[in-house]
Amino acid sequence: MEIQISGLKKYYHSEGKVVKALDGVNITIPANKIFTLLGPSGCGKTTLLRCIVGLETPDEGEIRIGDSLVFSSGKNLYVPTEKRGLGMVFQTYAIWPHMNVFNNVAYPLQNRKMDKAEIRERVAKTLKFVQLEGYERRPATNLSGGQQQRVALARALVNEPKVILFDEPLSNLDAKLREETRKELRTFLSELEITAVYVTHDRVEALALSDSIGVMNAGNIIEIGTPRKIYFDADHRFVADFIGRANLVPAAVLEQGESETVVRSALGNMLCHKRDFSEGEELTLCIRPEFIELQPPNNKGAVNTVKGVIETLVFVGEMYETEIRVGEQVLMAKIAPDTDLTEGSEVSFFVRPEHCLLVAV
């Protein structure tokens, strides 16, 4: 089911200050896809999620889930959480410690006064789906973090909702388990016909998991796009900077070419991925460290070739993290771990035009 949100506002008042958690959010979340709300902490992403499920009441705006309106400030309409029939996985999992796995998962069905035999059957089916077959009688406190996470997922799925919400569900797992669970989650969700809304501040998680990402900041949705679009071709400087490490170099448009935009910057004149800017306009050139490539000694002809000096060189195992000084500008870059360069070495590198991203200042 599609989720349509329009003009959503939610302000908090604390100690005389007004915090704009949601500042007029308009968004349509596509049906049966994994949609991620990504942003720094305090950007309002969790508030938006809680408004969708009904745990928060917005000050203004409308929320429509599928064909039904669940909140409208204009019509004074608020459908309470328990009547919205959504599924949700909480950051803390919120597994009830006094119940066993069966009752935790069966709870949504029990609230619908479903027949007992049917409940048993559906709980067993769902537990099988999340690979916790036979765990029914296990006390909820007697589970590992990953298992609790899957119980929470099973509980959210057992009622076969059309929409499932995730509030940073992986943030309590350790790094290795987080990666495994992320892959699993992707597999689980792609097998179902369900709209998933996923909140996270972890950009890797967002990129790896989503069909579509909405980047939020200060109560607003800044940009929406596929992971590749957001990573390679962001329209906003905030998004380009937030989604990955980026060298931000001030630049100005020199001329608009056929397929490229040429800019002047501290790195010299650079051919960039074409963007609609007028000549002379000040903007920011954004280059990700992994796209800075060292020039092989015998190859001199590449476009966007720049000369610099290695200022720092830190070995982190899979590569060297380095800073290259070009005049006043210092650029982060990554160098293969088997290099024989040292600090102070002169290097010459290039960046392909499609990886030179131009964003407004």
Does residue number 98 form part of the binding site for other proteins (CB under 8 A)? yes
* Number of residues lying near other proteins (CB under 8 A): 34
Does residue number 224 form part of the binding site for other proteins (CB under 8 A)? no
Phi, psi (5° rounding) for residue 250?
A: -65, 140
Instruction: Name residues whose C-beta falls within 8 Å of residue 204's C-beta, 6 or more positions apart in sequence.
Output: none
Nearest CA-CA partner of 189 in 215, 170, 163, 207: 163
> Which residue from 7, 42, 107, 348 is in contact with other proteins, where contact means CB under 8 A?
107
Does residue number 11 form part of the binding site for other proteins (CB under 8 A)? no
Does residue number 137 form part of the binding site for other proteins (CB under 8 A)? yes
How far is Cα of residue 227 from the mean position of the Cα atoms in its chain? 8
> Which residue from 30, 79, 96, 274 is in contact with other proteins, where contact means CB under 8 A?
96
101, 191, 264 from 169: Cα distances, Å: 18, 19, 44
Does residue number 148 form part of the binding site for other proteins (CB under 8 A)? no
Distance CA 262, CA 251 (A): 10
| Chain residues 32-71 in contact with other proteins, contact rule CB under 8 A | 53-55, 57
Q: Which stretch binds other proteins (CB under 8 A): 3-11, 74-82, 190-198, 253-261?
A: 74-82
Does residue number 108 form part of the binding site for other proteins (CB under 8 A)? yes
> Which residue from 8, 22, 61, 102 is in contact with other proteins, where contact means CB under 8 A?
102
Q: How far is the CB of 53 from other proteins (least distance, A)?
A: 6
Q: What is the 3-state secondary structure (H, E, C) of 170-219?
A: CCCCCHHHHHHHHHHHHHHHHCCCCEEEEEECCHHHHHHHCCEEEEEECC
Residue 207, token pair as written in the block: 């990129």
- 103 versus 226: smaller Cβ distance to other proteins: 103
Binding site for other proteins (CB under 8 A): 53-55, 57, 80-83, 85-88, 90-94, 96-100, 102-103, 107-108, 111-112, 137, 139, 152, 155-156, 159
